[in-house]
């Protein structure tokens, strides 16, 4: 999608601090980090919200990629949170699904 921020990041039109990339997903550090470790895992395919997602394997791959990166970055054992926001009331601001992974500090609940 030509006006999507994350599609532009995937295409290399907007720089990002990339952590991981394969044929299906792209992971990069969040520029508005809410924890010492905060990165996003996104599908390369444009899907606006989780409501439009129909590929369970792809959605699972987002989660498994976050887990793999958390282990590689050394904070998996202490704990971390993964979350996907959906639509305005859910806190979604970029309409290209993305999984947040946050760690490196004790996280509280409810998040807000």
pLDDT for the residue 1: 63
Q: Which of 37, 96, 98, 100 is catalytic?
A: 98
Task: State the pTM of this model.
Answer: 0.95
List, in sequence order, every residue forming a beta bridge with 82; answer none if it has no partner. Answer: 101
For every residue of 8-31, DSSP letters joined together read: HHHTTSS---EEEE-SSEEEEE-T
**Which positions of the chain have pLDDT values less than 70?**
1, 112
The CATH number that domain 5-103 falls under is: 3.30.428.10
Q: Is 98 a catalytic residue?
A: yes
């Amino acid at each position: 999608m030509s006006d999507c921020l994350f599609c532009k990041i995937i295409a290399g039109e907007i720089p990002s601090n990339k952590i991981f990339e394969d044929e299906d997903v792209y992971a990069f550090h969040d520029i508005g980090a809410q924890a010492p470790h905060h990165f996003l895992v996104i599908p390369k395919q444009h899907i606006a919200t989780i409501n439009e997602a129909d590929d369970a394997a792809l959605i699972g791959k987002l989660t498994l990629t976050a887990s793999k990166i958390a282990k590689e970055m050394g904070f998996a054992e202490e704990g971390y949170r993964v979350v996907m926001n959906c639509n305005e009331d859910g806190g979604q601001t970029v309409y290209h699904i993305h999984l947040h992974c946050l760690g490196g500090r004790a996280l509280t609940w409810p998040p807000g």
